[in-house]
A and B are shown apart, each in its own frame.
Chain A
Amino acid sequence: MIQFSHTYKTYSGQVSALKDINLENDKGEFVFLIGPSGAGKTTLFKLISAFDRASSGDIRVAGYDLNKIQSREIPFFRRRIGVVYQDFKLLKSRTVFENVALPLVVRNEKPAAIQARVNEVLDQVSLLGKRTMYPEQLSGGEQQRVAIARAIVPRPGVLIADEPTGNLDPDLSREIMSLLERVNAQGTTVFVATHDHELVKSSKKRVVEIQQGEIQEA
């Protein structure tokens, strides 16, 4: 489902953020990505989501070769994946509901279906009561949950989440993890970057470690 082979990413010709990445995540697999700050986790996720291009090497995700993908295909590729960004990327001028509805709106789903699905997901992240508020009126943890809701609302085949529990207390973290596990149980391939070693240990999932841009499979 996600496949890197000899992938490199170098920023502005100097910083070598990823070096010779070889990695394969199977369909339906749940994988953690751990590593210290600056190791390259976010960079790796940016390549998976076609947010940015690799400097060299191959990346295949959900049947798309991201090296050869055409501009015209990118939107359709992105509809297959859900992404929780480390910086959330919520729209300030839209309410919680509108933010979460956006992936469905761009897919031209019917308003009634959007309404129902968005409410269902907002309930799963315990934010139904704040659906008419704006991101800036929410706490960091609440914004993070809006970002998670937006990523899972279209039932993507691949879900990548960059520190989805970074701003949450242990109780909420566990709740979100169990939500991600439920999403995974429905067939979605899940890839989660995290600092939270407790969480990783207790879950007994596959763990990939990255150090200074290089993968060290545990």
Chain B
Amino acid sequence: MLGDFLEGYLRSWKNHSVIQGTTLVVLTGTFFVVTLFISIYQNLDQVLTQWGENVEMTAFLSDDIGLETLNEIGQKIRKSEFVRQVKYVSKDQAVETFLSQMGSFAPDLIEDKNFSNPLPASYEIELTENLGKASSFEKLVSLADFVKTLPGVDEVSYGQGWIENYSSLVSQFAKSSWAIVVILIAGSLLIVGNSIRSSIFTRRDEIEVMELVGATQNRIRTPFLLEGAMLGFSSALLAIFMCWIFILWQSKLIVSELAFLGLRGEIQVLSVSMFFLIPLLGAMVGAGGAYVCVRRISTGWAAAERLEQW
């Protein structure tokens, strides 16, 4: 069966290599764009993780809470999802940090003995990496909302403004990419279908004779489905390879041009799961495109219906 398939596949290539070649090129281009979008999205999404320490939440505490409430708040935050570590910063420590950071701008302040500490005590909440993604913005918000409801917590801050802007940018990108990807995939279905239709056409005598000597529907259809799947799969592999080269080539440029993002040269080509999922998607698109055509062949009466069908 496999031998037969390979033989038929080679025959398809031999008989209409131009169509097969064109299909492969167009599909590879399509999957290249799809892979590139996915890769850009994953990198954009990762940027927050790379800025790891910036995605930190601070819960400012009321001045008038007792030790018990303080501990209770600490416990509750620590037990929440996505929280890696919680650190208590007292009013004094807060001032110290403030002075050491800002002291040079206001040297008088350090000297001022009557300086009454306006800074609140706080919990600095270190988040797990899972939350350091643009796509996790909503989870971040709900964690903040939860912390805010705890009695004794006055205010929660986590750089709302810029994270929100950034994550809406990323989700905007994701949405428009989706639209393009859907169009591209629909196009690839048609292209694969076209190629398979031509395979079927060049092998219609073979299909007819196979039917007449008692080949089952599956036996006749499967090779064409596999041919479609193979086209999709190999195009997707080629596309990943090209994307990989392309990104490696571009990433140096991106890192130096966009140095302010502090990407530390950690541009990822694709996540491991995508390495498997994209070829699988390719194979599925290929088989899907083929299925549309294949459904019309081998109804048992090919010989009789041949004139009607083509």
Q: Which residues of A contact B (CB under 8 A)?
A: 49-53, 71-72, 74-76, 78-79, 83, 85, 89-93, 102-103, 105-108, 150, 154
In the complex the two chains form, is B210's CB within 8 Å of A102's CB?
Answer: yes
Chain A hits for B206, CB < 8 A = 91, 93
**Once the chains are docked, how many angstroms separate the CA of A154 from the CA of B214?**
11
Q: Inside 8 A of A52's CB, which chain B residues have their CB?
A: 301, 303-304
Q: Other than A74-B211, A106-B214, give 9 A-B pairs with Cβ distance below 8 A.
A: A52-B301, A52-B303, A52-B304, A53-B301, A78-B213, A91-B209, A93-B206, A103-B213, A108-B1
- Which of B209, B217, B301 is within 8 Å of A72, CB to CB? B217
Q: Please tell me if the beta carbons of B215 and A106 are within 8 angstroms of each other in the complex.
A: yes
CB-CB under 8 A from A78, the residues of chain B are 211-214
- From A71, A92, A105, contact of B300 by CB (8 A): A71
A130 to B205, CA, bound (A): 22
The closest CB in chain A to the CB of B304 belongs to A52
User: A107 vs B214: C-alpha distance in the bound complex, in angstroms?
Assistant: 8
Closest to B202 in A: A93
| Contact string against A for B residues 272-308, beta-carbon threshold 8 Å, 1 for contact and 0 otherwise | 0000000000000000000000000001110110000
- A107 to chain B minimum Cβ distance, whole angstroms, is 7
Is residue B76 within 8 Å, beta carbon to beta carbon, of the partner chain?
Answer: no
Q: Dominant SS at the B interface?
A: helix
Do B11 and A89 touch across chains, with their CB atoms under 8 A apart? no
- Of B1, B299, B301, the most chain A CB neighbours within 10 A belong to B301
Size bracket of the B interface: 20 to 34
| Known contacts A91-B205, A93-B11; A106/B213 CB under 8 A | yes
Contact A102 B303, beta carbon cutoff 8 Å: no
Please give, as numbers and ranges, the residues of chain A lying within 8 Å of B209 by CB-CB distance. 89-91, 102
> In the complex, which of the residues B205, B211, B213, B215 contacts A150, with contact meaning CB atoms closer than 8 Å?
B213
B108 on the interface (CB 8 Å rule)? no
Residue B197 is within 8 A (CB to CB) of chain A in the complex: no
Please tell me which one of the listed residues B1, B217, B303 contacts residue A75 in the complex, with CB atoms under 8 A apart.
B217
Question: Please, how many angstroms separate the alpha-carbon atoms of A91 and B299 in the complex?
Answer: 20
Find out whether the CB atom of B304 lies under 8 angstroms from the CB atom of A79. Answer: no
Closest 7 CB pairs of A and B: A74-B300, A79-B214, A106-B215, A71-B300, A78-B214, A103-B213, A52-B304
Q: How far is the CA of A85 from the CA of B269 in the complex (A)?
A: 59
17 contacts between A and B (CB under 8 A): A50-B300, A51-B303, A71-B301, A72-B217, A72-B300, A74-B301, A75-B216, A78-B213, A83-B212, A89-B205, A93-B11, A102-B209, A102-B213, A103-B213, A103-B214, A106-B210, A106-B216
**B201-225 Cβ-contact flags toward A at 8 Å (1 or 0):** 0000110111111111101000000
CA–CA, A207 to B174, complex, Å?
Answer: 77
**Residues of chain B whose beta carbon lies under 8 Å from any beta carbon of chain A:** 1, 4, 11, 205-206, 208-217, 219, 299-301, 303-304
For the A-B complex, the count of residue pairs with Cβ-Cβ distances under 8 Å equals 61
Q: How far is the CA of A103 from the CA of B300 in the complex (A)?
A: 16
CB closest residue in chain B, given A72? B217
Residues of A within 8 A of B210 (CB): 102, 106
Chain B residues with Cβ below 8 Å from A91 are: 205-206, 209
Residues of A within 8 A of B300 (CB): 50, 71-72, 74-75
B6 to chain A, nearest CB (A): 14
Cross-chain contact B212 with A89 (CB below 8 angstroms): yes
Complex Cα spacing A108 to B4, Å = 11
Closest B residue, CB atoms, query A71: B300
- Chain A nearest CB: distance from B212 CB in Å? 6
Residue of A whose beta carbon sits closest to that of B4: A105
A106 nearest in chain B by CB position: B215
Question: A200 to nearest B CB, angstroms?
Answer: 27
* CB-CB nearest in chain B for A90: B209
User: Which residue on B lies nearest to A78, using beta carbons?
Assistant: B214
- Shortest A4–chain B CB gap in Å is 18
B303: A residues at CB distance < 8 A? 51-52
| Nearest neighbor of A150 in chain B, beta-carbon distance | B213
Closest Cβ–Cβ distance, residue B37 to chain A (whole Å): 42
Chain A residue numbers with a CB within 8 Å of B217 are 71-72, 75
What distance in Å separates the Cβ of B210 from its nearest Cβ neighbour in chain A?
6
Answer whether A49 and B214 are a contact pair too, CB < 8 Å, given A71-B299, A74-B300: no
Give B11's nearest chain A residue, CB to CB.
Answer: A93
A103 to B4, CA, bound (A): 14
A72-B217, A74-B300, A93-B11 given; A51·B212 CB < 8 A? yes
Chain A, residue nearest B203 (CB): A93
A85 neighbours in B (Cβ, 8 Å): 212
Chain B nearest Cβ from A198, distance in angstroms: 30
Residue of B nearest to A94 (CB): B206
- Residues of A within 8 Å of B216, CB to CB, are 75, 106
In the assembled complex, the Cα of A74 lies from the Cα of B217 at a distance in Å of 10
B221 to chain A, nearest CB (A): 12
